[in-house]
A and B are shown apart, each in its own frame.
Chain A
Amino acid sequence: MENLGVVFALLGAALAALLAGTGSAIGVGRTGQAAAGIVTEDPSKFGKVLILELLPGTQGIYGLIIAFLTLSNIGILGGNPNISIAKGLLYLMACLPIAIVGLFSAISQANASVSSMGLLSKRPDQFGKSMIFPIMVETYAILALLVSILSVNAINGMNI
């Protein structure tokens, strides 16, 4: 039972990579379909459309960052993976913001991105603005990432 701490912590890391990654996969899949449609009509838009396509891909990376930070903090990647249950649960909590916000924000961002691609296909000169709309969604993923990073980092220094 005393080993349960690392189990919870790993669950947190796994959730961060899993949920945020799933969100990004769904998101990039959705934007990819729209992107392919636009490139069919006008191959010269590939570069711009690619940027819009990749926007929902970042949440998966944020999830990976938190997962990796957690893994290296709890000593799974070499070291002594022996932490208290309380600490393990704290890690699990710390991972949740990016896990859950990552999942939903990636999907919403993909929807905004697809609409922006529509904008881009009709008004190619408005690329700058079309990029801003999906980026607005990303802010919340970044805030969640920030909370997760700060928490994971703080837990590492805690003495419980």
Chain B
Amino acid sequence: MAVVQMRRINLLGLRKNRKQTLELLQCRGVVEITSLNKEEDHIFHRMDVSSSKTQFQQMQQSASQALGTLDSYVPRKTSPLAILEGRKAITLKEYHTLERKREEILEIVTTINTYEKEIHEKNAAKLKLQMQLEALHPWLSLDVPLQFSGTRKTSAFIGTLPEGVTNEMIEEVFAKALPESGIYTQIIDSTTEQTCVFLLVNRSISEKSEELLRSLGFARPTNLCANAPKEEAKQLEEKIQRVEEEISAAEAGIASYADKRDEITFLVDYFSMREEKYQVLGTLIQSKRTFLLTGYVPAENAERLSKELYETCGVAVEIENLSDQEQAPVLLKNNAFTSPMESVVESFSLPGKGEIDPSSVIAFFFYFFFGMMLSDAGYGLLMVIACGIILKKYQNMEQNLRKSIRMFFFCGISTMVWGFLFGGFFGDAIQKISATFFGHEVSIPALWFTPVKDPMRLLMFCLGIGIIHLFLGVAVKGFQDWKQGAHLDVIYDVVFIYLFVGGLILLLFTTSLFQNMAGVKWDFSPMVGQVATWITIIGAVGIIATSGRDSRNPVKRILKGIFALYNNATGYLSDILSYSRLLALGLATGIIANVVNQMGSMAGGGIGGAILFIVVFLLGHTMNIGINMLGAYVHTVRLQYVEFFGKFYEGGGDKFHPFGIHTKFFKFRED
């Protein structure tokens, strides 16, 4: 239950201290700076920072681009676990060294980007040359240039005709049309698409021949060159080779900067930091010699920060409490057990005004439900070991990731506990292995009972847990009402619900229908039934009388009350039944695990059987863990969001976004 208290911080300083102040604030990262609600006038005005911001953005982009280029030519050696390692920490001293070198690094960035552009262009040129070479290919056996047009007495036609044309066909056409003069034809190359021909005729019939050829579909090649095709091809090949050499030179040029990668990543971060700073600079109100800044700061940091600001930067700091109307940004603070829930809460919505931080309330039941739905000691053990090793080995992991892993660690513990209670260790692996390979069945007894054998009992337990969970939600609602001073609402919204729903449940317990279903035999005195009836009636009347208290019209009020009663009755029924998913998903894990073991042991004992068992066991249980972890997570979240939060929580708070160092690759370490 910890939404961090916020204070407003107002800061007035001399302009000469501005840079130092902002740097200190960015370094501490605990103040969310808000825009001061003041019009610009002839003394105070805001700085226009858009051009500098754009400039930083561009520089950051070109550095990112250079980094991408470098990565694609000199791949980084990364393991899939690299994400767990977190950002690299650098000291302030290293930061200043690198900052001084930024012009130099920027030059490297520009060089890399130029190389990259060059490679692009050269590749395009190479492609063009290759196409030319391709086009020249059919003509290679021709030993005159393609633009050869004949000698003094003769005219030459070099070009293509449709496919399937032969020497004879051409000769025949010419003999028919121009019988008096001879021709020379030669098929250079013939493919399924075209026929390349060389044709020599007497210059006197040049024009007529051209017409004749055109009617046959004659076309001259597009790239007429001055040299013989073979010669030309050789030249093209040389050109391609030269371009290729240039490309590999450029690539080598890029690769030579491989050791500068860290510096370039620094530059990306550096410019995003600068950009953030200028963003803030734009919100400040400044006069010729002073500047004004306002924002939110967590109460716990306020004292120290104001002292530090006053002492190192010489600015006047004022910390004040927030007014009641003001909605401060929300920052959650929890201990190791409950903080993993912050992300669950955040994905729903952060607490709004007057609401508590539900992280700590949902934590216990979250782990509890998750464990019940996965409920296999083997799976739990794997989760605990994997998460434990990761948490121990990667101390530098990012906070959010760390919290998620810690969440699965606790979920794993809970899964293990439930697994032992229900007697599941990779399903019935121990029984199956011992029976198949060692001849006699060894079984680990369930500490409590085996759900498959007695599902009704577990169903009742699940619904019971559901009632407790829902009543807890209602209690939290009462707590919130009380804290906000609406003391009577606690009776209206909590006590009446408890009476109504509790009475109904008690009434249900006394019926023989329920007792048969649950397989229990309770002897209640008739008094209990009567008391339960009266409790229910008091609750119902209370709900009818008070639920419509917002309306002034008495008829409307009663109608609203009746509607609320109906809503509560059906709502609680479906809410409680919803907890049956705990049983269904718990059984699902166990049964699939058993199916896997059953399939594995189908080949019987012996070496072949053992190999089959191991393969099926690994594949099957991996799949089962994956699918059921997903199911357990999703349905746990649902129970929290829909059933539990539905009772008391609306959310709607804004996240606290402190002005700070938001980098991708590096973080800072205090020296």
Q: Write the residues of chain A forming the contact surface with B, with a CB cutoff of 8 angstroms.
A: 51, 54-55, 57-58, 61-62, 64-65, 68-69, 77, 125-129, 131-132, 135-136, 138-139, 142-143, 145-146, 149-150, 153
For residue A143, which residues in chain B have a CB less than 8 angstroms away from its CB? Answer: 577, 580
Which of B44-52, B291-299, B548-556, B635-643 lies at the binding interface? B635-643
Stretch at the interface among B161-169, B209-217, B584-592: B584-592
A61 touches B641 (CB 8 A): no
Contact code string B117-155 (vs A, CB < 8 Å = 1, else 0): 000000000000000000000000000000000000000
The smallest beta-carbon distance between A113 and chain B, in angstroms, is 11
Q: Are the C-beta atoms of B588 and A146 separated by less than 8 Å? A: no
For A142, list chain B residues within 8 Å (CB).
580-581, 584-585
Q: What are the residues of chain B within 8 A of A131 when measuring CB–CB?
A: 634, 637-638
In the assembled complex, B631 has its CB within 8 A of some CB on chain A? yes
Q: Which residue of B lies closest to A55 (CB)?
A: B634
| CB nearest neighbor in A for B627 | A61
Asked if B508 CB lies within 8 Å of chain A CBs, one says no
- A135 and B634 in contact, given A61-B627, A128-B641 (Cβ under 8 angstroms): yes
The interface residues of chain B, by DSSP majority, are classed as helix
Contact with A along B543-578 (1 / 0, CB 8 A): 000000000000000000000000000000000011
B630 at the A interface (CB under 8 A)? yes
A139 to B638, CA, bound (A): 10
* B238: min CB distance to chain A, Å: 42
Sorted nearest first, the 7 A-B pairs with minimum C-beta distance are A128-B347, A135-B638, A65-B591, A128-B348, A142-B581, A142-B584, A145-B584
The answer to whether A68 and B591 touch across the interface, beta carbons within 8 angstroms, is yes
Residue of B nearest to A57 (CB): B627
- A77 touches which one: B456, B459, B591, B598 (CB < 8 A)? B598
Report 20 cross-chain contacts, Cβ distance below 8 Å, ordered by A residue: A54-B630, A57-B627, A58-B627, A58-B631, A62-B584, A64-B595, A65-B587, A65-B591, A68-B591, A68-B594, A125-B347, A128-B641, A131-B634, A131-B637, A132-B638, A135-B634, A139-B581, A142-B580, A149-B584, A150-B459
A18 to chain B, nearest CB (A): 16
16 further contact pairs, Cβ within 8 A, besides A61-B592, A135-B642, A142-B580:
A54-B630, A57-B627, A61-B627, A64-B595, A68-B594, A68-B595, A69-B591, A126-B347, A129-B348, A132-B641, A136-B642, A139-B581, A142-B585, A145-B588, A149-B455, A149-B584
- In the bound complex, residues from chain B placing their C-beta under 8 Å from that of A139 are 578, 581
- Expressed in whole angstroms, the Cα–Cα distance for A127 and B580 within the complex equals 25
Question: A153 and B588 in contact (CB under 8 A), knowing A55-B634, A61-B627, A131-B637?
Answer: no
Is B455 a contact partner of A65 (Cβ separation < 8 A)? Answer: no
User: Given the complex of chains A and B, what is the CA–CA distance between A136 and B585 in angstroms?
Assistant: 15
Contact of B9 with A by CB under 8 A: no
State A125–B641 Cα separation when bound (angstroms).
Answer: 16
What is the bound-complex CA distance between A136 and B637, given in angstroms? 12
B341 lies within 8 A of chain A by Cβ:
no
Residues of A near B459 (CB, < 8 A) are 146, 150
Q: Which residues of B contact A135 (CB under 8 A)?
A: 634-635, 638, 642
In the assembly, what is the distance between CA of A69 and CA of B595, in Å?
A: 10
Q: Are B344 and A150 touching (Cβ within 8 A)?
A: no
Task: State whether the Cβ of B583 lies closer than 8 Å to any Cβ in chain A.
Answer: yes
Note all chain A residues with C-beta closer than 8 A to B578.
139
- Shortest CB distance A66–B (Å): 9
Q: Are A64 and B635 in contact (CB-based, < 8 A)?
A: no
With beta carbons under 8 angstroms apart, the residue of A51, A54, A150 that contacts B456 is A150
Contacts of B577 in A (CB 8 A): 143
- Inside 8 A of B591's CB, which chain A residues have their CB? 65, 68-69
How far in angstroms is the closest Cβ of chain B from A76?
12
In whole angstroms, what is the CA distance A138 to B347 when docked?
Answer: 20
**Nearest-Cβ distance from residue A114 to partner chain B, whole angstroms:** 17
Do residues B584 and A128 form an inter-chain contact, with CB atoms below 8 A?
no
A72 to chain B, nearest CB (A): 8
Rounded to whole angstroms, the CA-CA distance of A55 and B347 in the bound complex is 18
Give min CB distance, B83 to chain A, whole Å: 12
Which A residues lie within 8 Å of B637 (CB)? 128, 131
Smallest distance from the beta carbon of A75 to chain B beta carbons, Å?
14
B346 surroundings in chain A (CB, below 8 A)? 128
CB-CB nearest in chain B for A134: B634
Contacts of A150 in B (CB 8 A): 455-456, 459
Query: Is there contact, CB below 8 Å, between A146 and B635?
Result: no
Query: Taking the nearest CB of chain A, how far is it from the CB of B642, in angstroms?
Result: 6
Closest Cβ of chain B: how far from A41's Cβ, in Å?
19
What is the chain A residue whose CB lies nearest that of B580? A146
How far is B456's CA from A128's CA once the two chains are assembled, in angstroms?
32
Give, as a whole number of angstroms, the nearest-CB distance from B432 to chain A. 12
Known: A51-B634, A149-B455, A153-B455. A65 touches B641 (CB 8 A): no
For chain B residues 385-436, which have a beta carbon within 8 Å of chain A?
none
Q: State how many angstroms separate the Cβ of B638 from the closest Cβ of chain A.
A: 5
- Tell me which of A57, A61, A77, A138 contacts B588 (CB under 8 A): A61
Using a CB-CB cutoff of 8 Å, which residues 325-363 of chain B contact chain A? 344, 346-348
Nearest neighbor of A52 in chain B, beta-carbon distance: B634
CA distance in complex: A77, B455 (Å): 22
